Structure 1
Amino acid sequence: MSLSEEELRAAIAREMPGVRADLERLVRIPGIAFDGFDHAHVERSAEAVAELLRGCGLAVQIVRGDGQPAVIGRRPAPPGAPTVLLYAHHDVQPVGDPALWHSEPFEPVERAGRLYGRGAADDKAGVMAHVAALRAFGDDLPVGVVVFVEGEEEYGSDSLDGIIEAHRDELRSDVIVIADSGNWDIGVPALTTSLRGLVNCFVEVRTLDSPVHSGMVGGPVPDALTVLARLIATLHDENGDVAVDGLVGRGGATVDYPEDRFRREAGMLDGVRLIGAGTITDRVWTKPAVAVLGIDAPPTAAAPNAVVPSGRAKLSVRLAPGDDPTSAYAALRAHLEKHVPWGARIEVTLESGGAPCVIDATGPAYDAARAAFRDAWDGVPPVDMGVGGSIPFIATFQELFPDAAILVTGVEDPYSAAHGPNESLHLGEFARVCLAEALLLRNVAATREN
């Protein structure tokens, strides 16, 4: 017989000190899968995760495709019980400018009830939420589990499809829990039911063979950075809405952000206006967005008085649910080629793309999840929310495991600053997440019993 809610609450409370200590050990490993970083740390991170899963009684293997190591841990289901796949990732984002951090990025520090450190929220706390739930049950686990912890999610999951395909039978499950999203607010849980897709590309413009004295040719000859600036400006209309024909967009988000909360959480400066039309949640969840991520140009301190011959920018397009990365990239490329000014040469190169997704969050598994979240948050029901970010491999899970219910959960809150400086985890909310996952496993087992 499965553990009661009271027994699970007591078990989670008992396990949380050890869970936090293990989380801090994971945070101290700078496992960054990006090119140019020491990938030996990613290997260390995978080994640490494997050790944690073995400690929960799982049979564990470290696997890889063409990229960084992933960890698969398995424990078979009791007779007649369902199997639940628990996903997280153990790699982290680069830290960016260390001067913007208030403490060392890879030395976890608690301040005001939050644990600061790179990966503390995204997504090593996701790993530890799975571990906490397994430890709470001990030998009384009522479902089969497959724990799948990826090692290059932050770098684009390029090898993930191959890993999933190669280990398809081992990963097959009735319910899939993706612990890589967040909650609506501190004290308010959420299930993520839609995510935007992604197209990243480079655009390069050229006007000259090489730099030329700006006094000799300046005037008739356009410099490449002016060309690039004018071209980038065509991506939005005067209101700030995306102006690329062919990108899908829609409205209809059922939840909205108060503008003051959104501005505060985004860290917007006073006087800077929001752009675009529609509700804030429509603009973040269900409409496309275009951002310039970087520009290659001569640094100002070393720039000579010469007309710049070429300029290059990296563009990121978030795709609304219902759009397709292939057609979206074609639309973006056609727009750039059409609008490049003054006959400048242009080259557009795709870096990566990922599909958006919409989840039909109805059925017994979703009822089990909502009940678990409501109980863990002392009666507060979860919000069904969209996310402006992307988890493209969810579409792969949907394709390969069409009969599985996919639940997108997470440990983050609006103040976690994932991917930014001073990333942090709210420790009180983390304890609720761990309890919710234990209750979810119990509730999923009960769906088969009924």
Structure 2
Amino acid sequence: MTITDAVDAVLPAALDDLAKLVAIPSVSALPAHAGDVRASAEWIVDQVRELGCADVRVVAEGGQPAVIARFPAPQGAPTVCLYAHHDVQPTGDVALWTSDPFRVRAEGERLFGRGVVDDKAGVMVHLAVLRAFGGTPPVGVTLFVEGEEEVGSPSLAAIMERHRDALTADAYVIADSGNWNVGEPAFTTTLRGLVDCTVEVSTLDHALHSGQYGGAVPDALTALCRLLATLHDADGNVAIEGLGAMPDPELDYPEQRLREEAGLLDGVRLLGEGPIAGRLWTKPTATVIGIDATTVADASNTLAPSARAKVSVRIAPDADPDAALAALTRHLESHAPWGARVRVTDGSQGSGTTVPFRGPVAEAAREAFRQAWGVEPVFMGQGGSIPMVADFQKAFPAAEIVVTAVCDPDSRMHGIDESLHLGDFAKACRAEALLLEKLGRTI
């Protein structure tokens, strides 16, 4: 039996277990789900123990629980760390989902549910591969399943420092990115960074009747709207000075494809200028992701004394997050309309990175993915931020890192009706198994 045959034999059980894992609502951002995050970590531990692995434990260094499991390397073989995360995003309005987000629904070639692709499919790829090898892979394997990636991995650095010996490996396979298309695998080579902040605008020390004082006295919500509008120029380019950008990628991203994938309404123009791949992967973005103000339902004829918004900025892969946050703060403080008072509170930040694809592990990965998928893999960037990739690079600079994926452009990560393509899941499992087999023979 070939290793791909062995993978195919364990796929039905892996999909059943994926549904069980999705059923645990491990939302790391919501304190009410802390017990569920712990439960999902313990569920993974149980699966690893069933493979005969005795060296498995849950670790937490001031944050959400992660799982570290070690399968010893055969004599002379390298050790590969397989990374995924078991926490998921909040669901948003459950009423907008076609079905219960924590109960997997199958339709056609896709499975639907929160976390079914991001990143519990990544967890199950690793487990399926270990099962295909019967718990004795041809290389040493460290399975590392994090529990707080969706909130920026705040305690990851502490986990890496405290458990460095357990996590040290010759190569890292991070199954938490995106493929180019259904049936077309990709290796991620650039990732943007992220900074965000909360900006509060104040114009009054108390609310006022809008008829009595409107026309002379500015309200805070209108001032906030004018301030937020300065984040872009008329063409939609980010207007924050000092953010910088990397050169545009060579990969062509057709506009019509983007419009269809994003669900852009007819007549709505794209933001910015230049090649689309650059706008998505190597240039900065600025997005207002939340506003605190009086709701429409509660609105009255009142001048609001204060209002606030959360601003999220994706930065170029090579940009310094501290400098970017300082640039964002300067912009907001210096563009206050009508002398309004502006107070900026720092939020989260994470480094972007470039991921060089070179070396024996990279070449083995290219061949394994070509063999499993039947097509050449694509090398692409990601507009989203995965700061822990940079954390791995910093902590283990001598190791090769390969960033792989189980999602596709229609997976709707973080969104309503998140989904996994079944064919791509199977191919991802076969590719990773082939990679470990090749590394056991060649390195």
Shorter chain as denominator, the TM-score bin is over 0.9
CA distance in structure 1 between the aligned counterparts of 2:321 and 2:359, rounded to whole angstroms:
29
Q: Which amino acid aligns with 1:89?
A: H
Q: Distance in 1 between matches of 2:184 and 2:247?
A: 24
- Structure 2 CA distance, aligned partners of 1:307 and 1:422? 39
**How much has 1:139 moved relative to structure 2?**
5.0
Matching residue of 1:427: 422
Counterpart CA distance in 2 for 1:301 and 1:86 is 49
Matches of 2:413 and 2:176, distance apart in 1 = 11
Q: How does 1:6-25 map to 2 (within 5 A)?
A: 7-25=2-20
Which residue of the partner structure matches residue 279 of structure 2?
A: 283
- In 1, the alpha carbon distance for the partners of 2:175 and 2:336 equals 42
- Distance in 2, matches of 1:37 and 1:290, equals 30
What is the Cα deviation at residue 219 of structure 1?
1.3
Tell me how far 1:72 sits from its aligned partner. Answer: 0.3
Q: Which runs of 5+ in 2 are unaligned?
A: none
The answer on whether the counterparts of 1:56 and 1:131 sit within 8 Å (CA) in structure 2 is no
Structure 2 residue 137 is matched with structure 1 residue 141:
yes
Partner of 2:339: 343
Is 1:294 paired with 2:290?
yes
- Maintained 8 Å contact 2:116/2:419: yes
Q: What secondary structure sits across from 2:32 in the alignment? A: coil
1:54 aligned residue: 49
Paired position in structure 2 for 1:3: none
**2: CA distance between counterparts of 1:101 and 1:265?**
18
For residue 178 of structure 1, give the secondary structure of its aligned residue in structure 2. strand
Q: Pick from 210, 233, 251 the counterpart of residue 255 of structure 1.
A: 251
2:332 aligned counterpart, secondary structure: helix
Distance in 2, matches of 1:310 and 1:185, equals: 45
Number of corresponding residues: 442
Aligned-partner SS, 1:216:
helix
1:344-363 alignment runs, 5 A limit: 344-363=340-359
RMSD: 1.0
* Secondary structure of residue in 2 paired with 1:38: helix
Q: Tell me, in whole angstroms, the C-alpha distance in 2 between the residues paired with 1:327 and 1:446.
A: 45
Deviation at 1:321, TM superposition (A): 1.3
How far has the Cα of 1:395 moved from its partner?
1.1
CA contact (8 A) 2:171 2:399 kept: yes
Equivalent of residue 406 in structure 1, options 401, 411, 420: 401
Of 76, 82, 88, the residue aligned with 2:78 is: 82
Find the residue that maps to 1:61 and give its secondary structure.
strand
Using the alignment, how far apart are the partners of 2:326 and 2:33 within structure 1?
Answer: 35
Note if 1:188 corresponds to 2:177: no
> Judging changes above 3 Å, is the alpha-carbon distance between structure 1 residues 395 and 139 closer, same or farther for their aligned structure 2 residues?
closer
Structure 1 runs of 4+ with >3 Å offset? none
Residues 64 and 148, structure 2, Cα contact 8 Å, conserved in 1 = yes
SS in 1 for 2:145: strand
Q: For residue 252 of structure 1, report the CA deviation from its aligned partner.
A: 2.5
SS of 2:87's equivalent in the other structure is coil
Are positions 1:271 and 2:267 aligned together?
A: yes
Output the TM-score relative to the length of structure 1. 0.97
Cα separation, 2, equivalents of 1:447 and 1:208: 70
Q: Percent identity?
A: 56
Q: Distance in 1 between matches of 2:257 and 2:250?
A: 17
Cross-structure match for 1:385 = 380
The code of the aligned residue for 2:99 comes to S
Partner SS state of residue 318, structure 2: coil
Work out the CA distance in 2 between the residues paired with 1:197 and 1:389. 8
Deviation for aligned residue 1:342: 1.0
Q: Equivalent residue of 2:27, what SS?
A: coil
Matched-pair contact (CA < 8 Å) for 1:57–1:75: no
| Contact 2:45/2:67 (8 A) holds in 1 | yes
Matches for 1:60-75 after TM superposition, within 5 Å = 60-75=56-71
Question: In the aligned structure 2, how far is the partner of 1:293 from the partner of 1:18?
Answer: 39
Quote the Cα distance in structure 2 between the aligned partners of 1:349 and 1:95: 26
Within 5 Å, give how 1:36-185 maps onto structure 2: 36-58=31-53, 59-185=55-181
Given that 1:365 and 1:447 are in contact with CA atoms closer than 8 Å, whether structure 2 keeps it comes out as: no
Q: Distance in 2 between matches of 1:70 and 1:95?
A: 22
1:439 — aligned with what?
434
Question: Alpha-carbon deviations, 1:348-392, whole Å to 9, x = none?
Answer: 1111000000011111110010001000012x0100100000111
What residue identity is the alignment partner of 1:241?
A: N
Q: How many angstroms apart in 1 are the aligned matches of 2:117 and 2:269?
A: 29
- In the TM superposition, what is the alpha-carbon distance from 1:244 to its structure 2 partner? 0.6
Please give the TM-score of this superposition, normalised by the length of structure 2: 0.98
SS of 2:26's equivalent in the other structure is coil
Deviations 1:203-253 (A, max 9, x none): 000000110111221111111011111111111011100011100113330
Q: Give CA deviations for 1:31-79 in whole Å, capped at 9, x if unaligned.
A: 1111343211111101111111122232210000111110000011011
Q: For 2:256 and 2:134, how far apart are their aligned partners in 1?
A: 45
